[in-house]
Amino acid sequence: MPHFEICYLDQAGALIGTFSAPCAGEKQARILAHAMRLPGTRRMEVWDGASLIYERPETQRAAAIEALRLRPVLQAAE
């Protein structure tokens, strides 16, 4: 089972907390990140090793990554 690192940042972008947890997949890691949200959190990130797989609020970079991830699914539906 892969381990994901979840990071919480304040409004200035300073790290206020982080933890690593085993999750069955990215969806479970995202849900866990929201469920364990720390007080004062203004931004959260979920990492799979060196890859940023999720962040809130979403930046243009995250939106581009998600679009690339969904491209094969959308092409298959056509």
CA distance 76 to 56: 28
Number of domains observed in the structure of the chain: 1
Contact 39, 4 (CB under 8 A): no
Print the domain residue range for 18: 3-77
**Residue-wise pLDDT tens digits, 58-76:** 666 656 666 676 666 556 6
pTM over 0.75: no
Give me the mean pLDDT over the 28-45 stretch: 93
